[in-house]
Amino acid sequence: MVEREYYINSLKRSNYKITPQRITVIDYVKGHSPGHFTAEAIYNAIKSEEPTITLATVYNILKALQSAGTIHSLEVNGTTWFETNTKFHGNFVCDVCGNIYDLDIDEASLLEDVDRDGNEIKQASLILRGVCRSCRKKEADR
Ligand SMILES: [Zn+2]
Ligand SMILES: [Zn+2]
């Protein structure tokens, strides 16, 4: 479990002031780790606690955490998702329930395979789509 201090320190290193709103967003991120979340989901979850916060502010805090290297973002169907798993992995998106699952994929061997013909790939982002196990089970039980 990553401590709140880890995220706070990363913002401080990027010269962000630590405000109560930023702490509230950090607590949400920390509480949903590991997992995938959108700025909208955070905004909806915390707006009663932080009535003056805007969606744009939540988004900016997430971008700040991302530039500090503590969270990672991915695009799925035109929506930006964030996650605390910054280690290379595949994101498996279920087209039925919309959940995103992390899959362990070895980056070094993947890059080795695609580099074979002389390209030099420096970074990869992997999104896999399909139907997740629990949706398949629900389908089978029907
Ligand atoms: Zn599913
Ligand atoms: Zn992920």
| Mean pLDDT computed over 104-130 | 83
Instruction: Tell me how far the alpha carbon of residue 32 lies from the centroid of ligand 2, in angstroms.
Output: 12
Instruction: Tell me how far the alpha carbon of residue 100 lies from the centroid of ligand 2, in angstroms.
Output: 7
Instruction: Tell me how far the alpha carbon of residue 137 lies from the centroid of ligand 1, in angstroms.
Output: 9
| Mean pLDDT computed over 75-104 | 94
Ligand of minimum distance to the alpha carbon of 37 = 2
How many folded domains does the chain comprise? 2
What's the pLDDT at 13?
A: 87
* 77 and 8 in a common domain: yes
Q: Is the pLDDT of residue 122 over 90?
A: no
| Mean pLDDT computed over 55-64 | 95
Mind listing the pLDDT tens digit for each residue in 22-49? 999 999 999 998 899 999 999 999 999 9
pLDDT band at 52 (very low <50, low <70, confident <90, very high): very high
Instruction: Tell me how far the alpha carbon of residue 102 lies from the centroid of ligand 1, in angstroms.
Output: 13
3-class secondary structure for 51-100? CCCCHHHHHHHHHHHHHCCCCEEEEECCEEEEECCCCCCEEEEECCCCCE
- Which residues are registered as beta bridge partners of 56? none
* 9 and 46 in a common domain: yes
- With a CB cutoff of 8 Å and minimum separation 6, the contacts of 80 are 38, 39, 73, 74
User: Whole domain around residue 25: which residue ranges?
Assistant: 4-83
> How does the average pLDDT of the chain come out, rounded?
91
CATH code for the domain in which residue 61 is found: 1.10.10.10
pTM of the shown model: 0.86
* 38 and 10 in a common domain: yes
Domain end residue (candidates: 38, 59, 83): 83
pLDDT band at 1 (very low <50, low <70, confident <90, very high): low
* 75 and 10 in a common domain: yes
Instruction: Tell me how far the alpha carbon of residue 52 lies from the centroid of ligand 2, in angstroms.
Output: 30
CATH code for the domain in which residue 124 is found: 3.30.1490.190
* 109 and 72 in a common domain: no
Instruction: Tell me how far the alpha carbon of residue 34 lies from the centroid of ligand 1, in angstroms.
Output: 18
Instruction: Tell me how far the alpha carbon of residue 76 lies from the centroid of ligand 2, in angstroms.
Output: 11
* 136 and 69 in a common domain: no
Ligand of minimum distance to the alpha carbon of 96 = 1
